[in-house]
Structure 1
Amino acid sequence: MATDPFAELLIQLRKGAGRTQEQQADAINAASGRETVTRREITRYENSRTIPTNHTLVYIAMACGTSTECLQREAAAARARRRQSAQGEGESQDSTKRHTLLEGAVVDTVAVEPLWDSPVDITSTLDVLLASNTALAALQASSDVLLRIIEEYESDGPTGPFQLAAETRRLRSRLHKLLQGHQPPSHRTELFRIASRTSAVLGYMAVNAGRHNLTTAYCTEAVAMAVDIGDLETVMWAHGTLSLSAYYRGNLTDAVRWASAGIDLAPDHPQAIRLQVNGLARALARQGDRPGTLKAILAAEDLTARHDVSSALTPCISLEPYGLPRTLANAITGHVALGDTADVLRYENEISGHVATSESDWTRSLVALDVATVLVSGRSTDVEQAMLLGCQVLDDAQQGPLILSVVQRAHALHRSAKSWKETAAVREYGEALRAWSDTPRVRQLTESVTMSASGDASGRTSPTEWLR
């Protein structure tokens, strides 16, 4: 029997994977989880003696890393060619009689569709529609992995953020491979949800590592996938991370724009809490917009009171809506930029219990640096206490996880104290800061920063200018 184009395609796929016919059978069986295909059947497929069922084609596609739809389309064409060939052979047996009837006439041959589907075909189609290359249990396991990464990210030792970023990248890669396969709608929606949130988390991790170009790429991917399945929560969360990235690049206009765009999607949604206080309020405060800052902080507090959100100090990287402690921790940063010493100390006192018991070294460090900064730049100063807090943060940061915002705020504190640069406390902090900044892991972090031409949060154009 002559080789059909579809059989040639199956041969090309097998050889492209570098497999023998027996290895191809093993790969298909591994994809299906059943020992149903033998080398002999592969031979029959490749010499056009038989055409795989639609159900088997799903697993051939998985084994060869190709499109199920493409294989099913080519198989359907092969079946049509076979039917046409069989019809032609039957017609040739009675060619004389038919020739008389058709002599002198030009007839267009049109394939007649059967009136009803075959029950066997219906069953085969259903098998294909419900077939999946991943089980719901596997999807749940992937979701659990992502939640564990979020929980451990801020407290997993000095190298934790980098190790967990690598693990998150591997999770993203695995999810994308699954997306290339076939799933029923319910599985595929859940797969899109987990994959989009994994990309969103990587975007936040990139901010902490100063890789702002990657933040844009990961968040763009997360938004595109989340929009496709109507996952508004992830879309808004990604907008918050893009705002955060712009803030640390010093592009305050973009920080406000991203936060505002996210809020406009659903102003009363609990994810708007983060957008108001972490995105809008802090950027407006750096721009000197006191009314806008206070309005955003009050809006965040109001949303927190109206929604059933966590009462704990959730991780910075958590996908959950902000609870009150996290909202107030971010409000502190806005009030620091406005020089509101009393408000900073009031908020800090309100969340001090949560901060003290938090497993997040970053949260403790960032709140301490904010308080220290307002104590040298606000309306009421205490330089000695500010430098003491700064030195304590540097000591704690020797062994704990390290992110770029801690480095930036530690240097911002030193710049804020320039009016007292001749005092012993400020000189001591400056020396400790220089020594800490020269350690290998701090240098590695700051030298890897990717910034746009607009600069960092200090307004300077050089990625590491704020270290000088």
Structure 2
Amino acid sequence: MGDHDEITTARHALGRHLAHLRKDAGHTQHSLARLVQYGRSSIANTETGRQHPERPFWTRCDQMLRTGGVLTAEYDRIADLNHRRHRSPARPRSASLTSDNAAVWWEPEDTIAARRSALTTSIDDDARLAHLEDEVRQAIADNERCPPATLVARLRPLRACVDQLMAGRQHPPQRARLYTAAAHLSGLLAALALDLRAFRVAHAYAAEAFDLAHAAQQPDTQAWARATQSLVAFYTGNHRDALAYAEDGLRHAGTGPHRIRLTINGQARALAHLGDRHGVDRAVDRAFRLLTEHPPDGQVSTSLTLGPYCPLRTAANAATAYLTLGHTTDVASHLTTAIAAFDTAQLRGPQALSRLDLATAHLHADDPDQAAELALQALTLTADQRFESVHQRTHQFLTAAHPLRHHRRIQDVADLLADRTQPRAAPPAGLRSPT
């Protein structure tokens, strides 16, 4: 048997040995691929001898399968045999091609195989990217329906998927998709950290979301990330920062769909807390004009939507801004319509927040009983979620109701909020960011 045949046979045997050890360890090709950070097809091709990965692959397999290094040792033996074969004098194939110039012209077979492996891995990455994008979109849709801690647990495998993909090599279009999906994931994690009162973590995730969007060179995603940074700044009391993030987001947004969110959720609400009534009027008018460029599809948009804000959410945000300024004209009718839509969509956060805003409007209308009833409904609806936005809005309601603090139903709201703010189990630890 010649050296070449011996090497081919040894490589096939090494692949079969990998398959045997993998099965003994209870792994599928998919599960081992995730552990060693290679594509599933790379595992399959290596096990059948069609692909010959380099030493780091075998080292990872030994580590994950706890083999004691047997695969790497066999790879080293084959590599040494291959090295000696290439050093042996080669017979010239023709008068113009000698052993000397052959060494100059031809690459080792392993180099060619590695390039083929990269192409195969990119096909696997397409499937993983599609899965990541779908899961992130679904999690954003569930953000105001599920308890934040539940969503954080759901996102742990996605965070690991991002880390694995970022450690790999993708074609440029895939890399842009990866960074975009990662930006959306980090932005969602920022909002969840905010709800779980991990404020520093929320700021860090939100900043990471923008950096990833910038690396992806996607202005639309940058605008979305700035809107999320504005949200985090708003609920951590940094209203000037919230305004600045929203305005920078508008510079990135161009004619994209995030202009409405940045204008009404970012600018208008921050300007209201800064006492700028004329600025709020301009922002609200602009947001409603922008709605005409995005015909409604009948769906209620979520807080972190990847598309435009719907008319109902825009109206609810406008009501929040005007209530902050103490202006209640037409607020009640807008909020009543919004509450009905949020109830149908089962969006717990907006259901509660709109009730709290309507409760504040009833305070201004000297109807403390109805105001307290709405506030109690809001706290009951979100008893399991404990959204930070609801917590803060309830405090604002009680501040407005301070002259009526001895009213029995108002006191019920204060007592229920106090019960909800008792010390509880620590929120989930922050998830590791991509390196």
Which band: TM-score by shorter chain? 0.7 to 0.9
1:384 and 2:369 matched:
yes
Q: Distance in 1 between matches of 2:62 and 2:162?
A: 17
Output the TM-score relative to the length of structure 1.
0.69
Letter in 1 for 2:259: A
Q: Is the 8 A contact 1:131 1:184 kept in 2?
A: no
- Paired residue for 1:137, among 127, 136, 142? 127
Q: Distance in 2 between matches of 1:25 and 1:117?
A: 34
Structure 2 equivalent of residue 291 of structure 1: 278
Structure 2 equivalent of residue 332 of structure 1: 319
Letter in 2 for 1:281: A
Structure 2 equivalent of residue 127 of structure 1: 116
1:443 and 2:428 matched:
no
Structure 2 equivalent of residue 179 of structure 1: 166
- CA shift in 2, pair 1:446/1:240, >3 Å: farther
1:395 and 2:385 matched:
no
Q: Is the 8 A contact 1:310 1:322 kept in 2?
A: no
Structure 2 equivalent of residue 146 of structure 1: 136
Q: Distance in 1 between matches of 2:233 and 2:173?
A: 36
Deviation for aligned residue 1:281: 0.5
- Offset from partner CA, 1:226-281 (integer Å, 9 cap, x none): 22222222221221121111111211111111111111223432112111111110
Deviation for aligned residue 1:383: 2.7
Deviation for aligned residue 1:64: 7.4
Structure 2 residue ranges without an equivalent (≥5): 1-15, 34-41, 64-79, 92-99, 429-435
Structure 2 equivalent of residue 243 of structure 1: 230
Letter in 2 for 1:255: A
Structure 1 equivalent of residue 7 of structure 2: none
Structure 2 equivalent of residue 317 of structure 1: 304
Deviation for aligned residue 1:184: 3.2
- CA shift in 2, pair 1:350/1:155, >3 Å: closer
Q: Is the 8 A contact 1:336 1:371 kept in 2?
A: no
Q: Distance in 2 between matches of 1:381 and 1:206?
A: 37
Q: Distance in 1 between matches of 2:309 and 2:363?
A: 29
The secondary structure found in structure 1 opposite 2:44 is: coil
- CA shift in 2, pair 1:245/1:329, >3 Å: same
- Offset from partner CA, 1:361-405 (integer Å, 9 cap, x none): 22111001011113324xx4433322222222233333x522011
- CA shift in 2, pair 1:308/1:118, >3 Å: farther
Structure 1 equivalent of residue 183 of structure 2: 196
- Offset from partner CA, 1:433-461 (integer Å, 9 cap, x none): 2244224xx42479979xxxxxxxxxxxx
Output the TM-score relative to the length of structure 2.
0.74
Q: Is the 8 A contact 1:362 1:402 kept in 2?
A: no
Structure 1 equivalent of residue 203 of structure 2: 216
Q: Distance in 1 between matches of 2:60 and 2:284?
A: 51
Identity of aligned residues (%): 28
The secondary structure found in structure 1 opposite 2:329 is: helix
- CA shift in 2, pair 1:23/1:301, >3 Å: same
Structure 1 equivalent of residue 396 of structure 2: 412
Higher Cα radius of gyration = 1
Q: Distance in 2 between matches of 1:355 and 1:53?
A: 54
Q: Distance in 1 between matches of 2:58 and 2:295?
A: 48
Letter in 2 for 1:396: L
Q: Is the 8 A contact 1:414 1:430 kept in 2?
A: no
Q: Distance in 1 between matches of 2:279 and 2:425?
A: 32
Q: Distance in 1 between matches of 2:231 and 2:46?
A: 53
Q: Distance in 1 between matches of 2:61 and 2:220?
A: 35
Where do 1:93-132 residues align within 5 Å? Answer: 124=113, 126-132=115-121
Deviation for aligned residue 1:284: 0.4
Q: Is the 8 A contact 2:294 2:308 kept in 1?
A: no
Q: Is the 8 A contact 2:369 2:409 kept in 1?
A: no
Segment of structure 1 superposing worse, 241-250 or 111-120: 111-120
Q: Distance in 1 between matches of 2:404 and 2:187?
A: 42
Structure 1 residue ranges without an equivalent (≥5): 1-20, 42-51, 66-77, 91-110, 450-468
Q: Distance in 1 between matches of 2:84 and 2:212?
A: 41
Structure 1 equivalent of residue 293 of structure 2: 306
Q: Distance in 2 between matches of 1:118 and 1:23?
A: 27
Letter in 2 for 1:33: I
Structure 1 equivalent of residue 405 of structure 2: 421
- Paired residue for 1:167, among 137, 141, 154? 154
The secondary structure found in structure 1 opposite 2:158 is: helix
Q: Distance in 2 between matches of 1:304 and 1:231?
A: 23
- CA shift in 2, pair 1:224/1:131, >3 Å: farther
Structure 2 equivalent of residue 74 of structure 1: none
Structure 2 equivalent of residue 18 of structure 1: none
Q: Distance in 2 between matches of 1:182 and 1:303?
A: 40
- Offset from partner CA, 1:139-161 (integer Å, 9 cap, x none): 222222223323333223xxx32
Q: Is the 8 A contact 2:268 2:284 kept in 1?
A: yes
- CA shift in 2, pair 1:342/1:149, >3 Å: same
Structure 1 equivalent of residue 221 of structure 2: 234
Letter in 2 for 1:153: N
Structure 1 equivalent of residue 356 of structure 2: 369
Question: How many correspondences in the alignment?
Answer: 377
- Paired residue for 1:34, among 22, 32, 44? 44
The secondary structure found in structure 2 opposite 1:433 is: helix
Q: Is the 8 A contact 2:272 2:324 kept in 1?
A: yes
- CA shift in 2, pair 1:132/1:258, >3 Å: same
- CA shift in 2, pair 1:128/1:446, >3 Å: closer
Segment of structure 1 superposing worse, 202-211 or 287-296: 202-211
Q: Distance in 2 between matches of 1:85 and 1:355?
A: 74
Q: Is the 8 A contact 2:189 2:205 kept in 1?
A: yes
Where do 1:328-367 residues align within 5 Å? Answer: 328-367=315-354
Q: Is the 8 A contact 2:186 2:206 kept in 1?
A: yes
Q: Distance in 2 between matches of 1:144 and 1:299?
A: 32
Q: Is the 8 A contact 1:329 1:348 kept in 2?
A: yes
Q: Distance in 1 between matches of 2:375 and 2:51?
A: 69
Q: Distance in 2 between matches of 1:446 and 1:34?
A: 45
Deviation for aligned residue 1:113: 9.4
Q: Is the 8 A contact 2:263 2:284 kept in 1?
A: yes
Q: Distance in 2 between matches of 1:446 and 1:388?
A: 29
- CA shift in 2, pair 1:419/1:86, >3 Å: same
Letter in 1 for 2:403: S
